Amino acid sequence: MTIEPSRTDTRLDPYVDAYAARTNGLQVSAVRALFAVANRPEVVSLAGGMPNIADLPRAELGQTFARLVAEQGVQAMQYGSGQGEGFMREHIVEVMAEEQISAHADDVVITCGSQQALDLVTRVFCDPGDVILAEAPSYVGALGTFHANQCEVVHVAMDEQGVVPEALRQAVLTLRANGRRVKLLYTIPNFHNPSGITQPVSRRQELLAVADEVDLLILEDNPYGLLTLDDEPLPALRAFDAERVIYLGSFSKTFAPGFRIGWTLAPHAVKEKLVLLQEAATLSPPVFGQFAISKYLEDYDWRGQIRKFRDMYRERRDALLAGLAENMPEGTTWTHPRGGFFVWATLPEGLDAQAMLPRAVTARVAYVPGTAFYADGLGSGNMRLSYCFPTPERIIEGTKRLGEVLAGELSMRRTFGVGAAESTRNELSSGLATDLN
Amino acid sequence: MTIEPSRTDTRLDPYVDAYAARTNGLQVSAVRALFAVANRPEVVSLAGGMPNIADLPRAELGQTFARLVAEQGVQAMQYGSGQGEGFMREHIVEVMAEEQISAHADDVVITCGSQQALDLVTRVFCDPGDVILAEAPSYVGALGTFHANQCEVVHVAMDEQGVVPEALRQAVLTLRANGRRVKLLYTIPNFHNPSGITQPVSRRQELLAVADEVDLLILEDNPYGLLTLDDEPLPALRAFDAERVIYLGSFSKTFAPGFRIGWTLAPHAVKEKLVLLQEAATLSPPVFGQFAISKYLEDYDWRGQIRKFRDMYRERRDALLAGLAENMPEGTTWTHPRGGFFVWATLPEGLDAQAMLPRAVTARVAYVPGTAFYADGLGSGNMRLSYCFPTPERIIEGTKRLGEVLAGELSMRRTFGVGAAESTRNELSSGLATDLN
């Protein structure tokens, strides 16, 4: 993997006058740059959001796919429908019913991962300069898509129940009073990325009431909803309102990401535009993956597999929380997610997670600095810790290493009045540029 | 499949004030609407561009994929690189060498079909109102993508050797004199869709000379290049110029479309922007398909398979040309493609291919009216005839049916002074709206 964030800027680019304005919004994300470092075997990566799919019945799945190719290969390897195959959309309706969504397969559009659904919805609604509201913090990949489409992201405050309804109302009213076009609230109600926070049902209803009051569309992103670790799945925002909510779903966390099959469920008129844009973007979303996942849903106990995933992630979540309690220095706080992949930690006053990162990597532990999840530069005192991929033992080891890094930073601060990290900030830039080539 | 072109316009759409301006460029294509009709078994479809993949060794491929999932499923079903996997890009370099392209795998970006490459390149270069030059006629799917990205398409005249260099020069100079930003020439040099025309090497060099002179980027779309039926593959435009040509390739016609694996090869600085936009659009292009196609290229005689495809398509091309010579009324002319999938027919003076379509479908033969391939309403006297999907016997039968329809139109015209088709134009609209629900 080659990542050279500054190369285009520093050497002569003969095409510089030809690019579209939207290319100014394209940035190398901190998460992406981290993957290369975090993938080294000696590093405990609490950085990535990759699901652990090692426990899928791979040999058996292989035989299922072999039969699929032999018996239906002429269809499964051919072009497909721009909206996605009907049988796949029927299965998706069944999956969404687990979160009390009542929908028709005709209103589902299949996408190349739910990331593409994000992109298509943004393109259907947003002209350059339009505003999208998002939680503070929010999913780094969504911020990237919004910026690539020349939208401005305005963050809305969260509390321990998610987006604060009054903050949402005020944001919309203030922005509109200033002549801004506010198009969407982008929200992850379950096991939020990166904060791990879940909106209780009462909060969901309050948010929908505000959205009604100010006439705002909600873009509900729900990749983790079925990976609930302590409770039954909550009803989705879309379960309460079919006209105001555009829903995004994915098989990446409940099955596997490599087929790149996600979807959006949208009101009928919106769906029609999404299909036309999908056809312009890909002709048809991945066809073989739709056949493969449909076979999986038909022939396997997928609900049982999700229960196994829950048990596996619960053990890892518990390991991370126990490790943090054991190893974090005083003054560190963190969220207690009831599902999903992520814990959001707040460092003791004065520490800078981004500046500290090279020291952490040297100590063989990686995380994502909080700044990655804000469009406005906030988050330097935060980090996202993922428990999805490493084993519980490695997670505990990671928290030990992280605790030592934090203790060292605090000690340095007490002795010299500044964090050690700040003195290595330049090291980070040049170090990353070299390491990641 | 539901296609209701006018439904959004005629019923109340509560989101109408919220859509982005680009949604005005979204249209249901004539080709798409035709698929539903053409798929009926009793119709000989000379309309679609679907490759015939029935002869792939499906049972054996299934076993290959079974081993892939069992042995490498943890990687093949996981998230992948935004640029595409390195091994896939290495294979693509090898495939492109067949058309004398010398390239580095680092400059290849994998996409969800080459259609997505079209979309990404357009988004990297084009702001709303920018001009893209394209052959007259041009690929309907490209026109759709350019319009969805709010570009204006200006057609450039073709002769029997493809784009006319002097027409290209004049178009660029005139548009620029009028203050227009001309971003790209979009061209299909081999077995052009829809015209079937191929640029000889001398024409390619003349076009590159003009592009140099007026400083224009060329977007070379080459899905059919290896499906040459009479000659060795020609060197690609990209083979002559690595800095001025952005190349699009695809496995959809040389292997199978259902994995949705295409690619673009771009100059280094452009490639970096394409990767960032690809990550914003999909995180990573289809991963499993990259593993599957790489296994195919490694373990199978893919060059031998392409030779088999050539033999199969040659027989079908010859059947179509023989059937046209036998059955078309005087005054009809058509191109003689040396590869690819398409013949472009020009009807006797006064006949309208679009108006005639319902009569043709009633006679159980389908084609794509020429108007689909123009951004400016031209092409009513033309039709695209595909020989890729039906058997030679069915193709011959299709030309008989088509000949009868044309003869009937001509006879009606001689008798009444107008085409029968014109009197059924309203029938078409309402008929299609009903048939395609």
Least CB–CB distance from B288: residue in A112, A243, A289:
A289
What fold, for A78-299? Aspartate Aminotransferase; domain 2 (3.40.640)
Q: What is the pLDDT of residue B310?
A: 98
Give the residues across from B384 on adjacent strands: B344, B368
Confidence class for position A359, pLDDT limits 50, 70, 90: very high
Strands (E), A188-330: 217-221, 245-250, 261-265
Asked if A68 contacts A291 with a C-beta cutoff of 8 angstroms, the reply is yes
How is residue B370 annotated by DSSP?
Answer: G
pLDDT at A434 over 50: no
In tens, the pLDDT along A94-104 reads 999 999 999 99
- Asked if the Cβ–Cβ distance from B78 to A130 is below 8 Å, we say no
CB atoms within 10 A of CB A214: 15
Range in A158-172, A182-196, A330-344, B8-22 the model is least confident about: B8-22
- Asked if the Cβ–Cβ distance from A63 to B66 is below 8 Å, we say yes
Confidence class for position A29, pLDDT limits 50, 70, 90: low
Q: What is the pLDDT of residue A75?
A: 97
pLDDT at B34 over 70: no
pLDDT at A83 over 80: yes
- CA A51, CA A390: separation in Å to the nearest integer? 10
pTM: 0.93
- CA B143, CA B437: separation in Å to the nearest integer? 25
Give the residues across from B228 on adjacent strands: B339
Task: From chain A, pick out residues whose CB is under 8 angstroms from the CB of B61.
Answer: 69, 73
Angle at A281 between CA A280 and CA A284, to 5 degrees: 85
Long-range contacts of residues A372-376, Cβ cutoff 8 Å, at least 24 apart:
A372/A29, A372/A30, A372/A31, A372/A140, A373/A137, A373/A138, A373/A139, A373/A140, A373/A143, A373/A194, A374/A136, A374/A137, A374/A138, A374/A155, A375/A134, A375/A138, A375/A143, A375/A146, A375/A147, A375/A152, A375/A153, A375/A154, A375/A155, A376/A155
- Asked if the Cβ–Cβ distance from A280 to B8 is below 8 Å, we say no
Give the mean model confidence (pLDDT) for residues B278-284.
Answer: 96
Give the residues across from B45 on adjacent strands: B366
DSSP string, B232-269: PPPPPHHHH-TTTEEEEEESTTTT-GGG-EEEEE--HH
Task: From chain B, pick out residues whose CB is under 8 angstroms from the CB of A116.
Answer: 112, 281-282
Give the start-to-end residue ranges of the domains of chain B.
21-55+305-436, 78-299
End-to-end Cα distance, chain A: 7
Task: From chain B, pick out residues whose CB is under 8 angstroms from the CB of A271.
Answer: none
Residue A408 Cα, gap to closest chain B Cα (Å) = 35
CB atoms within 10 A of CB B310: 17
Confidence class for position B6, pLDDT limits 50, 70, 90: very low
- CA A188, CA A162: separation in Å to the nearest integer? 9
Q: Which of B244, B279, B388, B436 to mutate to test binding with chain A, by most A CBs within 10 Å of its CB? A: B279
How is residue B17 annotated by DSSP?
Answer: T
Q: What average pLDDT does chain B have?
A: 92
Residue B130 Cα, gap to closest chain A Cα (Å) = 9
pLDDT at B45 over 80: yes
pLDDT at A123 over 70: yes
Range in A110-119, B93-102, B428-437 the model is least confident about: B428-437
Least CB–CB distance from B69: residue in A4, A21, A61:
A61
Amino acid at A262: G
Q: Which residues, including other chains, have CB under 8 Å from residue A416's CB and lie 6 or more apart? A: none
Q: Which residues, including other chains, have CB under 8 Å from residue A9's CB and lie 6 or more apart? A: none
End-to-end Cα distance, chain B: 7
Closest residue in B to A12 (Cα–Cα): B269
Structural element, H or E, at residue B306: helix B302-327
Q: What is the pLDDT of residue A33?
A: 64
Q: Do domains A21-55+305-436 and A78-299 have the same CATH topology?
A: no
Residue A70 Cα, gap to closest chain B Cα (Å) = 4
Give the mean model confidence (pLDDT) for residues A142-170.
Answer: 97
Better pLDDT: B49 or A221 = A221
Q: What is the pLDDT of residue A5?
A: 41
Long-range contacts of residues A319-322, Cβ cutoff 8 Å, at least 24 apart:
A319/A387, A319/A392, A319/A393, A319/A395, A319/A396, A320/A46, A320/A385, A320/A387, A320/A395, A320/A399, A322/A396
Q: What is the pLDDT of residue B245?
A: 98
Give the mean model confidence (pLDDT) for residues A104-124.
Answer: 98
Q: Which of B109, B123, B243 to mutate to test binding with chain A, by most A CBs within 10 Å of its CB? A: B123
Three-state secondary-structure class, residue B58:
helix
In tens, the pLDDT along B124-137 reads 999 999 999 999 99
Q: In what order do the strands lie in the sheet with A368-369?
A: A333-334, A342-346, A382-386, A368-369
Residue with tokens 């030679």: B392
Least CB–CB distance from B66: residue in A65, A141, A291:
A65
Asked if A326 contacts A406 with a C-beta cutoff of 8 angstroms, the reply is no
pLDDT at A61 over 90: yes
Residue length of chain B:
437
Give the residues across from B334 on adjacent strands: B345
Structural element, H or E, at residue A308: helix A302-327
Better pLDDT: A4 or B263 = B263
Measured CA to CA in angstroms, residue A334 lies from A160, A195, B75 at distances of: 11, 9, 32
pLDDT at A286 over 90: yes
| Sign of the dihedral through C-alpha B53, B55, B59, B61 | negative
How is residue A19 annotated by DSSP?
Answer: S
pLDDT at B426 over 70: no
Helices (H) and strands (E) in chain B, counts: 16, 14
What is the four-CA torsion angle of A240, A241, A246, A247, rounded to 10 degrees?
A: 20
Q: What is the percent of chain B where pLDDT is above 70? A: 91
Q: What is the pLDDT of residue A420?
A: 55
What is the four-CA torsion angle of A326, A332, A337, A342, rounded to 10 degrees?
A: -100
Asked if A4 contacts A403 with a C-beta cutoff of 8 angstroms, the reply is no
pLDDT at B437 over 50: no
Better pLDDT: A58 or B32 = A58
Residue length of chain A:
437
Confidence class for position B416, pLDDT limits 50, 70, 90: confident
- CA A130, CA A217: separation in Å to the nearest integer? 13
Residue B157 Cα, gap to closest chain A Cα (Å) = 24
- Asked if the Cβ–Cβ distance from B259 to A288 is below 8 Å, we say yes
pLDDT at B59 over 80: yes
Structural element, H or E, at residue B146: helix B140-148
The CATH architecture one would assign to domain B21-55+305-436 is Alpha-Beta Complex (3.90)
Residue A6 Cα, gap to closest chain B Cα (Å) = 11
Q: Which two tokens mark B379?
A: 């092409």
Q: Which of A16, A89, A272 to mutate to test binding with chain B, by most B CBs within 10 Å of its CB? A: A272
Give the mean model confidence (pLDDT) for residues B339-359.
Answer: 95
pLDDT at A2 over 50: no
Measured CA to CA in angstroms, residue B123 lies from A16, A23, A131, B175, B245 at distances of: 14, 8, 20, 21, 16
Confidence class for position B33, pLDDT limits 50, 70, 90: low
Phi/psi at B156 (nearest 5 deg)?
Answer: -120, 135
Give the residues across from B135 on adjacent strands: B156
Confidence class for position A9, pLDDT limits 50, 70, 90: very low
Q: Which two tokens mark B319?
A: 């059947």
ipTM above 0.85? yes
In tens, the pLDDT along B173-196 reads 999 999 999 999 999 999 999 999
Residue with tokens 């003349």: B206
Q: What is the percent of chain B where pLDDT is above 90? A: 85
In tens, the pLDDT along A263-277 reads 999 999 999 999 999
Task: From chain A, pick out residues whose CB is under 8 angstroms from the CB of B266.
Answer: none
